[in-house]
Chains A and B, each alone.
Chain A
Amino acid sequence: MKVELRGIKKCFGSVRANDGVSLTVEAGSIQGLLGENGAGKTTLMKVLSGFVSPEGGRILLDGKEALFSSPAQAIEKGIGMLHQDPLDFPPLKVLDNFLFGRDSGFLLKRALARKELLELSERFGFTLDPEAYVNTLTVGERQQLEIVRLLSLGVEVLIFDEPTTGISTPQKATLFATLRRLAKEEGKSVIFVSHKLEEVLELCSGVTVLRRGKVAGEIAMPCTSEELVRLMFGQVITTHVAEEVSLGEPVLELRVWGVHTYRLDLSPVSLQVRAGEVIGLAGLEGSGQRLLLRACAGLIKPSRGSLFLRGEDMSGKSYQKFLDAGVAYLPAGRLEEGLIPGLNLAEHFVLARREKAPFFINWALARGDAGRKIEEFNIIGSPSTLVEGLSGGNQQRALLALLPDSLRLLLLEHPTRGLDVESALWVWDRLLERREEGTAILFTSTDLDEILERSDRISVFSGGKMLEILDASQTDVEQLGYLIGGNRG
């Protein structure tokens, strides 16, 4: 079935998640939908699969306009979506999951469904046990169950939203083989949503790139990863402008140091960061930058090697010791990790105090202190404003205001994500003040402009490896894009 989306519009509050997006998928092909987190991919796919009703635009199926207002109706029209976190019933058995949502009268026809389930999964080489509970299955197997279920409902269009997140490498190979088979042999239209370049390059016959809710471009395969990077991140015009600061003593040193987690391994890296130095961590999201930041903050224990802070070996030390040593980490999840929803600004400032606090809180004093910080950091809010009531930019300002006065090492995840240009500039002015005081800064960003502009050195990550450490004044966006795409320098 040929799918055409024309001028889809959807806003969430003031955020334009989809701003006139069009997309065409031919039957029997795999179309990639590429874009950074927050580019509007998932919203667009939720519109197509009936989870979200658009504020404008049309959906054409085989040239005929289709209207539906729920996922069930979308499935009736032949459109099924596999969600990043499979939308199934973990406490129920595989067979009951398969049966759920098909109308077959009053009684459950288990024997019939079991036969169909086994036949379909055999056709694709899946091994699904009908009697197993879904919560004992891996994410890969749950995807297989969803594929089989949607096919049995007669779906002609399958949407895969970031399907490779959380599955193992062999499962990924099986998944890709299945997707190819669905398109080539079964003639289905497959939409593959991802922010991973190499997967899109490997699998798709065409790619649509979204950026900030708009189509940044459409390319037919084959193409190069640089072209895709350029579309994802935009044309970059700026060059390196970071002013020279005399660097001090080494603050952070990593010696053959690696991190191991369930999803991603960070291969051993060696790195030395000096006081006042700014290092930008470039790469597609999930390539290992976040692991490096979290491990440097003392939140994850490295699997090997040692970490020195100003010459002191911090291996095995607690997060508290890292804080005492002058390390601070600003996570990207402002409300999830950075702030405490339900508490107001004054309460946050009291909590953030590192020095020995008296048993009773002098609230008049605390509100006064908070008021001063609020003024100093231009936060639009009062000491009694709950943090969830602040806008994204003001939450970021609050996080900066909560940092202790003197820091040795500041680790930032997407410090300006979601901020307007003015706020972003303001944030960087603050950070550069810190840098002049001798704080070393490591930050991640999806904005290559920002990385080039603000860093002294840039380290590029790809698939859990730190590829290169480049001098920011000696590189440009072409080279970064080339490296980010997974090519060795």
Chain B
Amino acid sequence: MEITLLIRILSSVLANSSPLVIAAMGETISERAGVINLSLDGSIMLSAMSGFAVAYLTGNVVLGFLAAMMVGALMALVIAFASITLHQDQVAVGFVLTLLGAELANFLGEPFVRRPGPRVPYMPIPLLRDIPVVGEIFFRQDILVYASIVLIVVVWFWIFKTQAGLRLRGVGERPEAAFARGVSVNRLRYLYTVVGGALVGIAGAAYSLSVKLGWSEGHTLGNGWIALAIVIFGGWHPFRVAFGAYLFGVLISLGGILQRSIPGVPTQVFQAAPFALMILVLLFVSGGALERLLSLFPPRMRRVVGDALRVAPPSALARPFVTE
């Protein structure tokens, strides 16, 4: 394979994955706090439509993103209220919101279907763009790509290096213990659910204003579910979640290329392959196979490798917290 082709593929994977990365980061922090925002597919759809509509009507991309953020945060607020305050089932509420969001987007978005609208400007970074290979992949992108990469690092730093992040993890793992140590469990859960939802909203607008321009019926259908799957695949760890999102992008591109070079294989095989691969990886990291693999490593390395590969959901995921 030519090097220029490789650069082109990686650069487009990076660009096309940014909404998925942003949405998955949002979902990661919500779930770390113990709340599943299952409405992702509907939230992304509705915020993609709203973001585009506002940007189209005002001609201002930033206003479009703000609107999308509000929509995402509002959807998350519904989930938070239903699950944290009313103790309703998060999965049921999330599922209903998924359907509602998608249908509402199709209905309200009708006037905006296939209209040419504003877009996030291409923004190569001076000097850095001229670095061979690296510059071509990373620094000839729009601001969303840069922001999504910064976001990954910020979320990781927040979760693992700050007091607030430790509290976030504690709230999702054992809210009773967090409460005993002076944390306002439900307030934090509200906060992270809504912030996560706002990020999901940004991801929606990132589709309609950058990656998949404009609006059409079912414009982003399915991407929310992919983001949800990637969070699990990534084991609720920002770096691995991001890796999962990019890997997914690479597999999709490879599918396109392979399909052209091996025309005998039905296209569906390549479309389905990334998902099958994800299931296999999940089985591996959560099952006994990992422990057997670890036993092959020298004892000193076992812990490091194990920490890097082992996956467990937040213990209190989807479980409401009630004080005595």
Q: List the interface of chain A (C-beta within 8 A of B).
A: 46, 51-52, 70-73, 75, 87-92, 96, 99-101, 103-108, 131
Given A51-B324, A106-B163, A101-B315 contact (CB < 8 Å): no
A107-B161, A108-B166 known; 14 new pairs, CB 8 Å cut-off, are A71-B179, A71-B181, A71-B182, A87-B177, A88-B174, A90-B315, A91-B312, A92-B169, A92-B170, A100-B167, A100-B181, A106-B164, A107-B162, A108-B165
A-B contact pairs, 20 of them (CB 8 A): A70-B179, A71-B180, A71-B181, A72-B181, A72-B182, A73-B182, A75-B182, A87-B176, A87-B177, A89-B170, A89-B174, A90-B315, A91-B173, A91-B315, A100-B167, A101-B183, A107-B162, A108-B165, A108-B166, A131-B303
Interface string of B300-324 (1 = CB under 8 A from A): 0001000000001011000000001
Q: Which residue of A lies closest to B174 (CB)?
A: A89
* A131 proximity list for chain B (CB < 8 A): 303
Q: List the interface of chain B (C-beta within 8 A of A).
A: 161-167, 169-170, 173-174, 176-183, 303, 312, 314-315, 324
* B162 proximity list for chain A (CB < 8 A): 106-108
* B182 proximity list for chain A (CB < 8 A): 70-73, 75, 101
* B111 → chain A closest CB, angstroms: 46
* B312 proximity list for chain A (CB < 8 A): 91
* A159 → chain B closest CB, angstroms: 12
**Residue among B181, B303, B315, B324 with the most chain A CB within 10 A?**
B181
* B252 → chain A closest CB, angstroms: 33
Measured CA separation A479–B165 after assembly (Å) = 59
* B174 proximity list for chain A (CB < 8 A): 87-90
* B41 → chain A closest CB, angstroms: 28
* A100 proximity list for chain B (CB < 8 A): 166-167, 170, 177-178, 181
Q: Which residue of B lies closest to A49 (CB)?
A: B180
Q: Which residue of A lies closest to B176 (CB)?
A: A87
For the complex of A and B, 6 pairs with smallest distance between CB atoms: A72-B182, A101-B181, A71-B180, A87-B177, A89-B173, A91-B173
* A91 proximity list for chain B (CB < 8 A): 173, 312, 314-315
Main secondary structure of the interface of A (DSSP, over half): loop
* B324 proximity list for chain A (CB < 8 A): 46, 51-52
* A106 proximity list for chain B (CB < 8 A): 162-164
Q: Are B180 and A104 in contact (CB under 8 A)?
A: no
Q: Are B169 and A104 in contact (CB under 8 A)?
A: no
* B314 proximity list for chain A (CB < 8 A): 91
Q: Which residue of B lies closest to A93 (CB)?
A: B307
Q: Are A96 and B180 in contact (CB under 8 A)?
A: no
* B183 proximity list for chain A (CB < 8 A): 101
Q: Which of B165, B169, B180 is within 8 Å of A72, CB to CB?
A: B180
Q: Which of A92, A99, A105 is within 8 Å of B173, CB to CB?
A: A92
Measured CA separation A106–B162 after assembly (Å) = 6
* A82 → chain B closest CB, angstroms: 11
Measured CA separation A51–B324 after assembly (Å) = 7
* B173 proximity list for chain A (CB < 8 A): 89-92
Q: Are A99 and B166 in contact (CB under 8 A)?
A: yes
Q: Which residue of B lies closest to A96 (CB)?
A: B166
* B153 → chain A closest CB, angstroms: 15
Measured CA separation A7–B248 after assembly (Å) = 64
Measured CA separation A52–B180 after assembly (Å) = 11
Measured CA separation A401–B60 after assembly (Å) = 73
Q: Which of A52, A75, A104 is within 8 Å of B163, CB to CB?
A: A104
Measured CA separation A52–B323 after assembly (Å) = 9
* A87 proximity list for chain B (CB < 8 A): 174, 176-177, 180
* A88 → chain B closest CB, angstroms: 6
* B315 proximity list for chain A (CB < 8 A): 90-91
* B199 → chain A closest CB, angstroms: 21
* B185 → chain A closest CB, angstroms: 11
* B96 → chain A closest CB, angstroms: 23
* B40 → chain A closest CB, angstroms: 24
Measured CA separation A244–B287 after assembly (Å) = 60
Measured CA separation A108–B182 after assembly (Å) = 17
* A71 proximity list for chain B (CB < 8 A): 179-182
Q: Which of B163, B169, B303 is within 8 Å of A105, CB to CB?
A: B163
* A104 proximity list for chain B (CB < 8 A): 163
Measured CA separation A72–B167 after assembly (Å) = 14
* B52 → chain A closest CB, angstroms: 37
Measured CA separation A101–B176 after assembly (Å) = 13
* B319 → chain A closest CB, angstroms: 14
* A103 proximity list for chain B (CB < 8 A): 163
Measured CA separation A102–B178 after assembly (Å) = 11
* B5 → chain A closest CB, angstroms: 43
Q: Which residue of B lies closest to A53 (CB)?
A: B324
* A73 → chain B closest CB, angstroms: 8
